[in-house]
Structure 1
């Protein structure tokens, strides 16, 4: 298999970068995800390069070529180049010296096979000559697995997982994105046997992988496999079923609304805001994401789709409506302009309501009546305001006519 070099060489600055990194003498190749994605026809793939050059040499060569070089991870051999606006990550060939399941101590090498052997999956251990597009497959299995749409570990799966426990989560994400059919049996057995290893990882890393998986076009079959094999049990024991996720995916499709990983996570966890907040805190999600997850898992009936949008905001209203399998309502409020309550506390004071807590109480009653009346305006709104002021004793009720 040979790739078309035009897929990357037409990008600004690429020829200058490849010349600086001595690609014409085989010192530098495209690697990993870049090769995999380009081979699958994903033309907007990020570019990554692997090189025999030491990182210090890479920095010097880029400086001499007047290409911006950022030492993003020199200790691990990584330099980021910015050539005429094109961003490329360059990493020196490496072999593992020691691993503890979370991080690795590496040594630099000039051996392509050694660099390939430390990678996770066969489809991620492919290289390509950046000038000709000729592909190299040091493991001898990557090209065949890519053509078969098969994700499997390089070598012994248990050893790969012992080197980096996050590879459990990565296996399922890559399977959901690239594979066809059932998961590789050896890989699935290893992930199942070592699921408890996930407890040694930071919850941020787990959240990142899980949300990336949930963001894919159809994560349902893979998530079902993970639940059936108790993969997430050690770190997210609340995820026990996938029926609500299936319903949500169907609703997203019916509404033609892009799938959202946080919304999909809400479909996997109990419908309880307190539990959602605990899970979000455990996963170290942002404050905004925590609030959104809590709102999505609440079951309070807010009434009409417009009231959902008014009370929750458009984003959270869409979450709640899709989770409730109301795709048509979600579509309707996606572009709806949320109105503002057309009366303020100052207006009430001007009408004779004394300053203090009574203003807030009266305003709240007006708001609810306004919503119940379908966002009333004009005379209807005037009647609501007058009635609320009287009902709350804010001003004296007018005497009855004799």
Structure 2
């Protein structure tokens, strides 16, 4: 049985519908990540699961039990917010123990739970400190520890790392991954707008847009076989290059000719109909066309040097639509130089005119 089942979940504010019939099953011990652009409904969905927002229609079940009208405190859920919300006049120990004291738990049990959580999060030497003496990453770990001590069935994380700087985000992300490994039977739902967090943490990712699910899958499934152009360009950094193209059939198989003037032979690519399509290729799948037939010809418009890699923006004659290639950093590529780029046919993504995937499984 799924740990959590969402069936036709809808959320409305007056005449405005924010969630449009969400259907989802989340397994016991799974780390599920909700991603999507601002305003897509991911935090609203999380708050509906937590009980902080009423569900307008549909059913939420945890371990088979209907939760729609169950108060948040009785759902077996702990939530970690973007804000640490620590009590500044309390030590770390007291911050983590406060909720258990309010619940009337015995002192020995409180101490056992706090010490166990502190050990998991490597906070034991800091339990006597006050929040002002901690770094941002340490404060967020205390907030996570406050959730752990409740021994919940489900953890909910609402963009917990967005207040941290880049280095602390990486460090705390690793701590959350280790936390999941140490609690393999605990289900976690994590909301973020950061696709790197999603790709590195998730067992499965839910991509949301305008209150609807676009695709659910493992990070590799979403990366390699995105269901549509939206998912293709949302997952991956830099975003996938997508151009208008024309599908053609010939004796050698299927050929795709794109708007910048290049073409590629896909071979016997299955039942693809001739006509207008959209061609996608990821920046990391492009290489310099030395021995291979070029897919793109153009002029280098800008180069972003990232050390081991460089992002090469190439003007291929399309207004406001450069092609971005992720190439080795040791290549000597200068702005204004001509460049020819190639890609393996197997790395190309083909979508129909409306943006739905045509080649490969999705």
Q: Which has the larger radius of gyration?
A: 1
> Same fold by TM (over 0.5)?
no
Specify which structure has the higher proportion of helix: 1
Specify which structure has the higher proportion of strand: 2
